Chain A
Amino acid sequence: MKFDKKDILGMKDLSVEEINLILETAESFLEISTREIKKVPTLRGKTIINLFYEASTRTRTSFEIAGKRLSADTINISASTSSVVKGETLIDTARNLEAMHPDIIVIRHSAAGAPHLLASLVKQSIINAGDGAHEHPTQALLDMMTIKEKKGRLKGLKIAIVGDIAHSRVARSNIYGLTKMGAEVLLAGPATMLPRDIDQMGVKVFNKIEDAIDGADVVMMLRIQLEREKQNIFPSLREYAQRYCLNRKNIALAKKDVIVMHPGPLNRGVEISPDIADDPSYSVILDQVNNGVAVRMALLYLLGGGHE
C-alpha cells in the first residue's frame, strides 16, 4: 500500500488501511531500539524541526529520538509563550522555517487547529504533536499499538477512557482511532468533564467509573490537570480521587487480563493509585512510552519518503 498523506493532523483523517500500515511499520521498527547501535540510515540528510509552543518532555524527546534513530537531523524549537504573545505570528514563523528547507515539521500548540493552519501554509509535511483539546494522533497510535501488542487485536475490545474528556486531545484521538478499528469505547467522568454531544462520536458515556470499566479489556486513565480545580470542573482533588481514582477495588470489575494505560505524566493517587500504576500485571504505561518512539519513527519514515 502506498502512503500518500502529506500531513498527520488527526486520527479523524486516517483510514483503517492507513492506521494498519502505520502500526505495522511501527512494529517493524521496534527492534531498532533494542540494538547496540540504535541507528539506521533511512532518513539521512533529512531535516526534522520539532516546533513546540507548549511544554513537553515525553513527546518532544520521543520525536527527537525517533528522528535520530533514523539518522535525520532533528532541531528543537521551544517557544515558552504563544506566537501572539511573542510578537511573531505562526504564519511568519512558518515561512521562516520553510525558507530553511526542512522536510518535516512536528508541531505542538495550545491552540486547536494550529497544525492545520501551518499545513495550509507550507509545503513540508506536518505532524500534529498535540493541539489544544483537539487531537494528539501520535499518542493514539502508540496507544493502539500497545493494545494490539498486548491483546493481539483492536476489534471487539471494550476500552474505557476515564477522566477529563472535555479537555483531552488524547481522548478525542483515541475515540476516532479505536472506534474506526472496531473497538467499543466507553467514557466515564463527572458531567463537567464530558463535552456536549460527545455520544455522537459513537461512544457510550457514563458518570461512574464503575459503569465504564465493568468488563473492560483496557482502561485508559487521563491526567487531571490540577489547575482545573479552580474552574469548578470538580470541587476538589480529594473528592475526585475518592470517586474516579483507579484502584484495587474498582479494577476488579474489569476483565481479569485488563491492561491499564495512561498518557502521562501521572498524578499518583489522583486518577490512578500508585500500586496499580506500578503493578506490571496491569500497567503497560512504560510499554506505551517504548512504542511511542516506534510509532513516531514509522510516521517520520512514511512521510519522509523512506517508504517509496
Chain B
Amino acid sequence: MNLVLKGARVIDPSQKIDAPMNILIKDGKIAELGDNTDKAKRDNGSEQTKTIDVKNMIVTPGLIDMHVHLREPGFEYKETIASGCAAAVAGGFTSIACMPNTKPVNDNRSITEFIRRKAAEANLANVYPIGAISMGAEGKILTEFWDMKDAGIVAFSDDGRPLMDAALMRRALEYAHSLELPIIQHCEDTNLSAGGLMHEGYYSTILGLRGIPSLAEETMIARDILIAEYTDTKVHIAHVSTAGAVRLIREAKKRRIKITAETAPHYFTLTDESLQNYDTNLKVNPPLRSAADVAAIKEGLADGTIDALACDHAPHARTDKEVEFEYAANGISGLETSLALSLALVHEGVLAWRELIEKMSTNPARILNLSKGALVPGADADITVIDPQVKWKVSVKDFRSRGKNSPFDGRALQGRAVLTIVGGEIKYCAPSFKL
C-alpha cells in the first residue's frame, strides 16, 4: 500500500527543507516530495493509496537514537529487543543503535547476528548493534572488528566500562579507522570516580553520598582528544554531562580534530539538587550535574559543539531500583520521553526546529554512516510525524518499555510523535491521532 502524508510542515535539515509539502511513499521508499503528490496519486490510480492528513504536524526524517540499551541477550527481565523496539517507535524513533553490554557481551559475530535476528522478528524499528571494543568489554584484547562489521556492527564501544588503558584506546581508534567505523567512548576515569554515586558537589556532601567529580569525565575526554589528534582518527563522546567537557570538545573542534559528541535529555533537564530524596530513578551514570553544567550543555547544543541527542535508554526492573541508593542500578528508561524533553529546547528557544532534527536524525546518521536521516526519493521511508502542540503527562504505566524507571513520571510535557513510519509501514500511531 502507498501512503501520502498531506499538508504537514516538512523539516529535513539534510536537504535544507523547511516547508509545507506532501510526501508520497511507494513500496517502502520515499517516492516523491512536493506539492504535487495528489497528481502522483492519480497517476497510480490502480494501486491502493492511503492519504493521511497531517495538517499542523511536523514531518521529519525518522528519528535516530544512537545510544540505547536493549538488554537482550541476558537481561530480558529488564527489556527485550522487542519491547525496546516498541518503546523506540512509540517515542518516534525509527532507528536505534544498541550498546554491547548484554550478557554475554556483544563482542563477536554470533551475538551481533542474534540481535539482528531478534530485531527483524520484532519488525518495528531498525536496530544497529554496537560491538564491544574489547573481549568481554574487559579492556584487554580487541574484538574481531572486521568480522563484526561484516555482521552488521555500526560502531564500537565498551560503553559503561571505558577504556582506561590509553594504549588500547589508541590501537582501537587506529584499527577502527581502517574500517571506517567510529569508536564511542563513555568517558569516565574510573580511578577518579571509584565508589561514586552522584555528582560531587554541595549535594553529594550534604547527602553523604560519595561523589563522582566532573574531573572523572573531563580527564578522559582530554586524553581521548589527544589520542584522536595524534592518530588522526574519529572519536565520538557519549553522554556529555559537564561544562568542562563541553569546553574541551568545543576547543578540539576548533582545532579540526575529528570529534563528535552526544548528550541525553536528563543532562539538560535535571540537576543534582533533585536527588535530595534519594530517588533511585535519578541515579544515572554519568550523574546528574549542577545547574551550571546544565547551562553549559544547553550552550554546547546551541553552538553545535554537541552533535547529537541520544537518551542512553537504560531500562531496569523494579528490583534493580527499589533498594538503597548505593545499591541501585544506574540508568533511566528514556526512549518514550526523549523527544518531548528535547522539544523543550525548541520551546525555550535554545534550538531551532532544524537544529533539533539535525541532532535527532541527520547527525546520528552521519556519525554512524547510516543511509538514513534524509527524505530523499529512493530512500527507505523512515518518517516521524510530530504533533508539536499536544500536551500530555508522562505515565510509566503506559510505557512500552519493560523499564518503568523514569524520574519524569507524572511530568507534564508538550509535543510528541504521533506517527512513526519505518520502511513505509506505520509502526506506531498515538491513540490521540486519527488515521
Which residue of B202, B322, B325 contacts A111 across the interface (Cβ within 8 Å)?
Answer: B325
Interface string of B162-202 (1 = CB under 8 A from A): 00000000000000000000000000000000000000111
A111 to B213 alpha-carbon distance, docked (Å): 20
Question: Could you jot down 29 A-B contacts, CB within 8 Å?
Answer: A83-B323, A83-B324, A84-B323, A89-B319, A90-B324, A91-B322, A109-B324, A111-B324, A111-B325, A112-B207, A112-B209, A113-B324, A113-B325, A113-B326, A116-B278, A117-B278, A117-B323, A132-B326, A133-B210, A134-B207, A134-B208, A134-B209, A195-B204, A196-B201, A196-B213, A197-B201, A197-B202, A200-B205, A201-B205
A contact residues, range: 20 to 34
Chain B residues with CB under 8 A of A89 = 319, 322-323
Chain B residues with CB under 8 A of A82 = 324, 327
A12 within 8 A of B: yes
Cβ of A278 to closest chain B Cβ, rounded Å: 31
Cβ of B222 to closest chain A Cβ, rounded Å: 20
Interface string of A114-134 (1 = CB under 8 A from B): 101100000000000001111
A169 to B206 alpha-carbon distance, docked (Å): 9
Q: How many residues of B contact A (CB 8 A)?
A: 21
Measured CB to CB, the nearest residue on chain A to B325 is A113
A196 touches B323 (CB 8 A): no
A113 touches B278 (CB 8 A): yes
> Which 6 pairs show the lowest CB-CB distances between chains A and B?
A134-B208, A113-B278, A133-B208, A111-B324, A197-B202, A111-B326
Measured CB to CB, the nearest residue on chain B to A109 is B324
Chain B residues with CB under 8 A of A114 = 324
B300 within 8 A of A: no
Chain B residues with CB under 8 A of A184 = none
B208 touches A172 (CB 8 A): yes
B204 touches A196 (CB 8 A): yes
Q: A117-B278, A117-B325 are in contact. List 7 more A-B contacts (CB 8 A).
A: A84-B327, A111-B324, A112-B325, A113-B324, A134-B209, A196-B211, A200-B205
Within 8 A of B (CB), among A183-202: 195-198, 200-201
A24 to B315 alpha-carbon distance, docked (Å): 50
A103 within 8 A of B: no
A112 touches B208 (CB 8 A): yes
A201 to B201 alpha-carbon distance, docked (Å): 12
B277 within 8 A of A: yes
Cβ of A120 to closest chain B Cβ, rounded Å: 8
Chain B residues with CB under 8 A of A198 = 205
Measured CB to CB, the nearest residue on chain B to A168 is B208
A94 to B200 alpha-carbon distance, docked (Å): 30
Cβ of B402 to closest chain A Cβ, rounded Å: 19
Chain B residues with CB under 8 A of A112 = 207-209, 278, 325-326
Cβ of A88 to closest chain B Cβ, rounded Å: 11
A200 touches B322 (CB 8 A): no
Measured CB to CB, the nearest residue on chain B to A135 is B208
Measured CB to CB, the nearest residue on chain B to A136 is B208
A200 to B323 alpha-carbon distance, docked (Å): 30
A90 touches B323 (CB 8 A): yes
Interface string of A122-162 (1 = CB under 8 A from B): 00000000011111000000000000000000000000000
Chain A residues with CB under 8 A of B201 = 196-197
A114 to B207 alpha-carbon distance, docked (Å): 11
Cβ of A221 to closest chain B Cβ, rounded Å: 20
Given A91-B322, A132-B326, A196-B200, verify A116-B205 contact (CB < 8 Å): no
A201 touches B322 (CB 8 A): no
A195 touches B327 (CB 8 A): no
Chain B residues with CB under 8 A of A90 = 323-324
Cβ of B267 to closest chain A Cβ, rounded Å: 20
Interface string of B312-354 (1 = CB under 8 A from A): 0000000100111111000000000000000000000000000
Given A91-B322, A117-B278, verify A172-B206 contact (CB < 8 Å): yes
Cβ of A34 to closest chain B Cβ, rounded Å: 36
A113 touches B202 (CB 8 A): no
Given A113-B324, A116-B278, A117-B278, verify A196-B202 contact (CB < 8 Å): yes
Cβ of B288 to closest chain A Cβ, rounded Å: 15
A114 to B326 alpha-carbon distance, docked (Å): 9
A114 to B208 alpha-carbon distance, docked (Å): 12
Chain A residues with CB under 8 A of B277 = 116
Within 8 A of B (CB), among A83-119: 83-84, 89-91, 109-114, 116-117
Cβ of B211 to closest chain A Cβ, rounded Å: 6
Measured CB to CB, the nearest residue on chain B to A169 is B208
Output the residue of B204, B206, B208 with the most chain A CB within 10 A. Answer: B208
Cβ of B409 to closest chain A Cβ, rounded Å: 15
Cβ of B243 to closest chain A Cβ, rounded Å: 15
